[in-house]
Amino acid sequence: MSSGQALNQSSTQALNQQDQHSQQSLGFVGVGTMGRPMARRLIEAGHNVVVYDRDESAVEQLKAIGARAAASVREVADSAHIVFTSLPTPAIFRQVALGEGGLIEGGAIRIMVDLSTVGSRMEKEVADGLLAKGIETVDAPVSGGAAGATKGTLAIMAAGNPVALEEVRGLFEVLGKVFVVGDKAGQGQLLKLLNNMLSSTAFAITSEAFVAGVRGGLDPDVMMSVINAGSGKNGATLDKFPKHVLPRSFDFGFPVTSVCKDIGLAVDECQALGVPMWVGNVARQVWNYAAMQDGSARDMTELVRYVERWSSVDGLED
């Protein structure tokens, strides 16, 4: 065989391997507010994706663009080597991963990529349980909200076995920018909780500051311009307030109940590490109080409405 023939044969084999890889099914369990746009991006990138969610309407939306619907979590784990999870609570995550009919019983799954926010202790427990069955866990919570999931601009905080991380790196690039933060499951979770605690605390104090400004006769648009040109700028003043609060649309896409879950997990984990969390605990109480005032299902940006009500201030647009 000539060197040219050998080269052609090698190239053909490489292309066949790439084609085979592109045709491998990926699994996705949990296609809600965050999971659905992430699964959509994987489908639109050309991957075969098998999806499962208890919400049939969410699954139908993905079926319409080429996903295959599974009848159970176990069916997903029997169909895909790599399975993504995007789930709302630690308890649901544990049940999906380790419970009866869960991922742990699957015949095909070898890597679980967890995009949820469930805390480092739960992530470690699940990772240990799956590893006993030869399944690696890539701990990969995301930040950027539903808008970032749709646009593929999420920040992905990934931790786990370096070999498993390398295998899924190309998939992460479809979803956003990946930051490898450690080699152990749980490290990504800790960083995500710290990030979310900072974000939700910044939004709470920004709400109080803007309501106080309006009460004192300041124009909220002028306040926004000045603060964002100075040292007080933060994620709330740069993004959430101009896009979702001042226009009174309140459509950031993240409910108050999820904020309460995340900041609660963050404060608990930080206290377990020996950090007193005076500020974090106060922010946690503010969000929990808003949830108890009928706000649990409301968009997180509606917190400002509660501060207005507590302060007897008209809306910031007035």
The reply to whether 192 belongs to the active site is yes
Report how far residue 201's alpha carbon sits from residue 207's, in angstroms, rounded to the nearest whole number: 10
Helix (H) or strand (E) run with residue 51 in it = strand 48-52
Q: Give SS3 for 181.
A: strand
How many angstroms separate the CA atoms of 174 and 151, rounded?
Answer: 10
Q: How many beta carbons lie within 10 A of that of residue 10, not counting itself?
A: 10
The catalytically annotated residue of 192, 240, 243, 261 is 192
Mapping DSSP to helix (H, G, I), strand (E, B) and coil, where does residue 32 land? Answer: coil
Q: Which helix (H) or strand (E) holds 49?
A: strand 48-52
β-bridge partners, 255:
299
Tokens 């608990």 identify what position? 268
What is the Cα–Cα distance from 68 to 52, expressed in whole angstroms?
9
Helix, strand, coil distribution of the chain in percent, nearest 5? 60, 15, 30
C-alpha to C-alpha distance for 162 and 78, rounded to whole angstroms: 24
Can you spell out the DSSP letters for 104-172? Answer: GG-SS--EEEE-S---HHHHHHHHHHHHTTT-EEEE--EESHHHHHHHT-EEEEEEE-HHHHHHHHHHH
CA 277 vs CA 93, 146, 187, 286: distances in Å: 26, 28, 19, 14
CA diameter of the chain: 86
Picking from 198, 27, 33, the residue whose alpha carbon sits closest to that of residue 97 is 27
Residues catalogued as catalytic: 192
